[in-house]
Copies of this chain bind each other. A is one copy, B any other.
Amino acid sequence: MREAANNEAAKRLCSSTPTLVGVEPAIDVIPGMTEQMILTSGAPLEWDRYSGGQRMAIIGGAIYEGLARDEADAEAKLASGEITIGSTHDHACVGSVAGIYTASMPVLVVENREFGNTAFCNLYEGKSPRRLNYGVYDQEVHDGLKYLEEVVGPVLGEAIKRSGGIDLKTMMRRAVNMGDELHSRNTAGTTLLTKELAPHFVAAAGEPGADSARLLETLAFLAENDYFFLRVGMAAGKATADAARDIENSSVVSAMTLSCCEFSVRVSGLGDRWFRGPLPDVEAQLFESYSEDDIEWMGGESMIMETIGLGGFAQAAAPALQAYQGGSPEAMAQTNESMYEITVAEHSDFRIPYFGYRGTPVGIEIFKVIETGILPAIDAGLAGRGGGQIGAGILRAPRDCFEQAAAAFTERYGQ
């Protein structure tokens, strides 16, 4: 029964058809979003448990959105509940690092056409290590966010609308054939997206009264930011993983999340309950002048990519990553190989050329994790104390989460 349910989960993960249909202000499209709400990464916490960069990012979001005058005002309103905090995963969103969403921010809208659900992700802030999602809020960060809101978001949104919807499943499949694992490497994805959008930019530029400068700026933003596609992939990942939620008897992981103080997982057959554990272990490759002591956890949900069989589960497709996050091509292939031991299927579409086009391992199964002792490998960017990105590496989802989930599963469904 569990096996059939897990096969169904894998089937839904593989047969999902995420399609990019637009870019809209968060308030207009995200279910349950309000003007006074700030979404952030991680299983929900009381306000006083948010600390460090994630706390700063929430406060920054409140100021950016005009919900608070300054830090003290934001602190007071967050403590009183006048400004509310929502958990991204409960609003069909996933957050990058701190994962801050406020009402006016533009979000990518991705429909899973096969299953009818929709998911969202906000836009990449650009490659400066100083970004709201890495716990920094200052004039430069503010201006960058405004630029996304006023230029990049609307221009992209119009091009996507003109396209009639972009088939992300096909694009992601191609990107994996071109050296992306679509978590820490997104170069091919971003390039393919740009190529796909190019004719719609040209068509827009050719219309009377068109503002070519805005179009060119947005294209330049895409050209400069090889990481841009990660957010598109994350929205596709969330739209895909949500289709595999709430399958009775399934012990497949439907979500993983990180806040400043916890790593948590959800299991398909166990509804919306988070199984919370400690912060993850990491093999880090840090930018020059940083040490592991400088790493600070600020949250993160880009591991939605691993949840759908990419990232650490497709490392062998992306040997070019070795320079960025460390490890030899052989070690990456080995890590990737071991993920087959904790998953229930091989992906029908995402395939690894170097493994003779074997499908990526997909559908993390909690009992396999416990029995093998192999923890899910997650490719990730790393934040530093005081804010900013300081490196990248491979995280391991903590065993605790899986043990708690297994206990709950056994309690609910029996042995």
Tell me how many chains of this kind the complex includes: 2
Q: Mark A312-326, 1 if CB is under 8 A from B, else 0.
A: 000000011011000
**Which of B192, B210, B320 touches A206 (beta carbons < 8 Å)?**
B210
A349–chain B nearest beta-carbon distance, Å = 14
A328–chain B nearest beta-carbon distance, Å = 6
Write the chain B residue with the least CB distance to A323.
B357
- Contacting residues of chain A (203-256) with chain B, CB-CB under 8 angstroms: 203, 205-206, 210, 212, 215-216, 219-220, 222-223
Classify the secondary structure of A's interface with B: helix
- B residues less than 8 Å from A206 (CB atoms): 205-206, 210, 212, 215
- B residues less than 8 Å from A187 (CB atoms): 174, 177-178
Check A104 for interface membership: any CB of B closer than 8 A: no
The residue in A194, A201, A216, A320 that gathers the most chain B C-beta atoms within 10 A of its C-beta is A320
- B residues less than 8 Å from A320 (CB atoms): 177-178, 353
Query: Number of A residues contacting the other chain (C-beta, 8 Å)?
Result: 37
Q: Mark A161-203, 1 if CB is under 8 A from B, else 0.
A: 0000000000000100111000000011001101110110111
CA distance A356 to B329 in the complex (A): 6
A220–chain B nearest beta-carbon distance, Å = 7
CA distance A199 to B329 in the complex (A): 35
Check A354 for interface membership: any CB of B closer than 8 A: yes
Q: Are A220 and B199 in contact (CB under 8 A)?
A: yes
Q: Are B323 and A179 in contact (CB under 8 A)?
A: no
- B residues less than 8 Å from A177 (CB atoms): 179, 187, 320
Q: Are B212 and A203 in contact (CB under 8 A)?
A: yes
Q: CB within 8 Å of B: which residues of A?
A: 174, 177-179, 187-188, 191-192, 194-196, 198-199, 201-203, 205-206, 210, 212, 215-216, 219-220, 222-223, 319-320, 322-323, 328-329, 353-357
- Please list the 3 inter-chain residue pairs (A to B) with the smallest Cβ-Cβ separation, ordered nearest first: A206-B212, A319-B353, A205-B205
